[in-house]
Structure 1
Amino acid sequence: MRFETLSVFPEVFAPYLDASIMGRAQRQGILEFEAYDLRDWTHDRHRTVDDAPFGGGQGMLMKPGPIFEAVRDISGRGGGRPHVVFFSPCGTRYDEGVAERLSHLDRVLLVCGRYEGMDERAYTLADETLSLGDYVLTGGELAALVVIDSVVRLLPGALGDDMSARDESFSDGLLEYAQYTRPADYDGLRVPEVLLSGDHERVREWRRQSAIRRTAAWRPDLLEGAGLTPQEWELARSVIEERRGGVDHGEE
């Protein structure tokens, strides 16, 4: 899969994407990445990419010209036209389902805004516009890194174990179950006995219930789409009621 970014700060991507899992994915040919500098498509000696907004107001807006030229030029550079993604508070909320969908594409171009945002006409270039959440960042570079990381880890071979990404939070509509490692007893806090039993079926059942408990306690909004059985719904409702009563529901 090929990811490309268009930004006024292309140098911020390499330190993260060259390390750890993302770096290994590139070395193995699972991920191709290129960062483009938007200023390469300007035509004045100051390489200007922003200007004051019509109608007044604080801050500066990114000009449409360099963005249009850059996206059109990059799109024509071979490898098939990229799926063009912009970022905006007006965009679709980014979640694991969107990451999964993007992971099936061959080429994605992420356009990163800065300053007070972009001239509205630039958004006509987008195949889709995404929002990471109800907060504001100083630029789209962090959003782009989040998308790249969350998508690449879904690609076959990226994690070294193709099942790893399918057994985590949101993969089945639930938060991930609680996990523990050695020692079995730390400062009086013990690992649930079932995890020490060696009984794989009991462990599987415990993990499913743990995921339901954690989701009901922390993200009950996810339960509707999790495909729970009537018995699992009963468990979830009991956790929600206990939380409303002020009970701290730990793992059993």
Structure 2
Amino acid sequence: MRIDVISLFPEFVAQCAAFGVVGRAGERGLLSLHGWNPRDYAEGNYRRVDDRPFGGGPGMVMLIDPLRASLKAAREADPRPARVVYLSPQGAPLTQAKVRELAGQERLVLLCGRYEGVDERLLAADVDEEISIGDYVLSGGELAAAVIVDAVARLQEGALNDADSAEQDSFEPVDPAGDPARVLLDCPHYTRPVSHELGDVPAVLMSGNHAEIARWRRQQALGRTWQRRPDLLDEASLSNADRALLAAYRASLGTVDDDSDG
């Protein structure tokens, strides 16, 4: 997969992508990351890339021409079609489903704004979609671009040493036999030592009984989602087995289900 980043600080995203799983994806030839600085395509002695907004107001707006020249250079660097994404707090929220969609693209171009943003005419003409990583404002799109690079790189085949690892992550669809796919948070994880002053590893995880371990992990995922992200849990769609697991989890916390009218 090839990702081109258009930014006044392309080296920032490149540095973020140099480590861990993403760095390994690059070393294995699964990810190719390229940066383009609009200032390199700006005219005049000062290489200006911004100007004051029409209508007045604070801040500056990024100019069309340097950005468009950067986009043109990025597109021409590889003949394959590229999906252009603008990182913006006004964009659609980034979800794991969207990450999987982006990871399936051969090419992405990530456009990072600065200041008050980018001239709307460029967005209307050259951007395929806008994506937000949260309901807050950053000083630029570089951090958001780095998040997308990380999220899609780890889903490239061969990036993870264990492919099953990605499928068991939080927010990944879970599709038990006969049940519709749902999204749950991940279960808790433990490693050595077995006993510690902070507590012991749950005995079921050392039992060797794979069916019981899978049942415990499923129950923990259901319970954690119910506790921490109830908006993700559609209890009406749960199977009878999942409902029983969740009821037992609640009971273990002293929470009793009450379906009575009275």
TM over 0.5: yes
Q: Which residue number corresponds to residue 129 of structure 2?
A: 128
CA distance in 2, matches of 1:190, 1:222: 30
CA distance in 2, matches of 1:68, 1:210: 49
How big is the shift at 1:239? Answer: 6.2
Change (3 A) 1:136 1:236: farther
TM-superposition CA deviations, 1:207-241 (whole Å, max 9, x none): 01110000100011111399631342455478679
CA distance in 2, matches of 1:79, 1:152: 21
CA distance in 2, matches of 1:234, 1:169: 21
TM-superposition CA deviations, 1:23-62 (whole Å, max 9, x none): 2111111111101111111111111111111111111111
Report SS of the residue matched to 2:130.
Answer: strand
Change (3 A) 1:189 1:14: same
Structure 2 counterpart of 1:161, which letter?
A: D
Q: Which residue number corresponds to residue 249 of structure 1?
A: none
How big is the shift at 1:163? Answer: 1.2
Q: Which residue number corresponds to residue 107 of structure 1?
A: 107
1:176 counterpart = 2:177: no
Change (3 A) 1:244 1:149: farther
Aligned match of 1:200 in 210, 214, 217?
210
How big is the shift at 1:13? Answer: 2.1
Mapped contact 2:49–2:62 kept (Cα < 8 A): yes
How big is the shift at 1:171? Answer: 1.2
Change (3 A) 1:15 1:70: closer
Alignment of 1:142-221 (within 5 A): 142-172=143-173, 173-187=183-197, 189-221=199-231
Alignment of 1:222-237 (within 5 A): 222-224=232-234, 228-233=238-243, 235-236=245-246
How big is the shift at 1:71? Answer: 1.3
TM-superposition CA deviations, 1:70-124 (whole Å, max 9, x none): 2123212323121100011221110100000011110000000011111111212
Q: Which residue number corresponds to residue 14 of structure 1?
A: 14
Q: What is the total number of aligned residue pairs between the two structures? A: 245
Structure 1 counterpart of 2:62, which letter?
A: M
Report SS of the residue matched to 2:137.
Answer: coil
Mapped contact 1:216–1:240 kept (Cα < 8 A): no
Question: Matched residues, percent identical?
Answer: 40
Mapped contact 2:219–2:249 kept (Cα < 8 A): no
Change (3 A) 1:242 1:140: farther
CA distance in 2, matches of 1:55, 1:24: 48
Structure 1 counterpart of 2:29, which letter?
A: G
Deviates more, 1:65-74 or 1:204-213: 65-74
* Unaligned ranges ≥5, structure 2: 174-182, 256-262
Stretches (4+) displaced over 6 A: 237-245
User: CA-atom RMSD, angstroms?
Assistant: 2.2
Change (3 A) 1:241 1:50: farther
How big is the shift at 1:14? Answer: 2.6
Deviates more, 1:156-165 or 1:14-23: 14-23
Report SS of the residue matched to 2:47.
Answer: coil
Report SS of the residue matched to 2:189.
Answer: coil
* Unaligned ranges ≥5, structure 1: 246-252
TM-superposition CA deviations, 1:105-147 (whole Å, max 9, x none): 1000000001111111121211111011100111100000000
Report SS of the residue matched to 1:85.
Answer: strand
Report SS of the residue matched to 2:234.
Answer: helix
Report SS of the residue matched to 1:15.
Answer: helix
How high is the TM-score relative to the length of structure 1? 0.90
CA distance in 1, matches of 2:198, 2:42: 63
